[in-house]
Amino acid sequence: MKILFAEDTADLNRAVTVVLTHEGYTVDAVLDGEAALEKLKNDSYDVIVLDIMMPKKDGMEVLFELRHRHILTPVLMLTAKVEVDDRVAGLDAGADDYLTKPFAMKELLARIRALIRRNEGYAQTEIRFADFVLNTEEFSLSSGNSVRLSIKEFELLQALVANADKSLSTEYLIEHVWKNERDAQEDTVWLYISYLNGKLMSIGSDAKIDGTRGGEFQIQG
């Protein structure tokens, strides 16, 4: 695991680097924002930690620029300020978390671990429900037989399984699975529910999604 750490206070920079290295991370430590962006040109990281107040380019500018370059690495902002507006601006600009100085080393480490975990999507490769298995790496659905699902079918089934204890409305599914895509409508949801029911049947599963066109849906094991 590789971390880019940008912090202009030399003592703190050194101390954190020592701790992170001790924890087994590979650390590229820099003292200003320009150096951080320079590192990002040649290397990729698992987590980026940015101090907000830095010379040459501050943490916010670095954050804007790296997101503009489509770098999706999780970013943790360090801030001396306690103003809510700063934190809000940082999170809105694409930071994943922030930590207010002074901070306990233990907390910094825990937050870094959390960011890495989140990025790995909890690493769950198999979702089991009733008599079928949904493989999240291959997008395959299997019971007696197996089939491959499209991305939307997969996401829809995942949402239904995660909410198996309740009915989900068509509106909820359009909002959460289709993220309110312009073309998504009642019939889109209904068609995809029908696809999934056909596919569940084809793999020999007894699970079935109950519901009617435009209404609420719930998966039954």
Partner 1 sequence: MDTNETKASIYGPHLPAMERTMEEILVRVEEIRERLTKKYGSDPIEHCLSRIKSEESMREKCRRNGLPETTESALSVCHDAIGVRIVCAFLDDVYIIRDYLKKIETLTVVEEKDYIRRAKENGYRSYHMIFKAEAGYYVEVQLRTISMDTWAALEHHMKYKKAELANEALIVSELKRCADELASTDISMQTIRQMIFSEDSK
Q: Which of 44, 194, 212, 220 touches partner 1 (CB under 8 A)?
A: 194
Which residue number, 146 or 163, has a Cβ lying nearer to partner 1? 146
Quote the strand ranges of 14-105, DSSP E: 26-30, 47-51, 75-79, 97-100
Which residue number, 29 or 149, has a Cβ lying nearer to partner 1? 149
The answer to whether residue 195 forms part of the interface with partner 1 (CB under 8 A) is yes
Q: Tell me the C-alpha distance between 147 and 27, whole Å.
A: 43
DSSP assignment, residue 150? P
User: What is the x/- site pattern for partner 1, positions 112-151, by CB under 8 A?
Assistant: --------------------------x-x---xxxxxxx-
The answer to whether residue 199 forms part of the interface with partner 1 (CB under 8 A) is yes
Q: State the minimum distance, in angstroms, from the CB of residue 119 to partner 1.
A: 27
Which tokens hold the place of 87? 């934190």
Q: Are 30 and 9 in contact (CB under 8 A)?
A: no
Q: Tell me the C-alpha distance between 38 and 88, whole Å.
A: 26
Residues 24-53 within binding reach of partner 1 (CB under 8 A):
none
Which residue number, 146 or 167, has a Cβ lying nearer to partner 1? 146
Q: State the minimum distance, in angstroms, from the CB of residue 156 to partner 1.
A: 13
Q: State the minimum distance, in angstroms, from the CB of residue 198 to partner 1.
A: 4
Which tokens hold the place of 180? 């309110």
Which residue number, 127 or 147, has a Cβ lying nearer to partner 1? 147
Q: Tell me the C-alpha distance between 150 and 137, whole Å.
A: 12
The answer to whether residue 55 forms part of the interface with partner 1 (CB under 8 A) is no
Q: Which of 21, 113, 204, 220 touches partner 1 (CB under 8 A)?
A: 204
Q: Tell me the C-alpha distance between 213 and 173, whole Å.
A: 13
Q: Tell me the C-alpha distance between 57 and 32, whole Å.
A: 7
Listed in sequence order, the residues at least 6 apart from 96 whose beta carbon sits closer than 8 Å to its beta carbon are 74, 75, 76, 115, 118
Which residues make up the interface to partner 1 (CB under 8 A)? 138, 140, 144-150, 187, 191, 194-195, 198-199, 202, 204
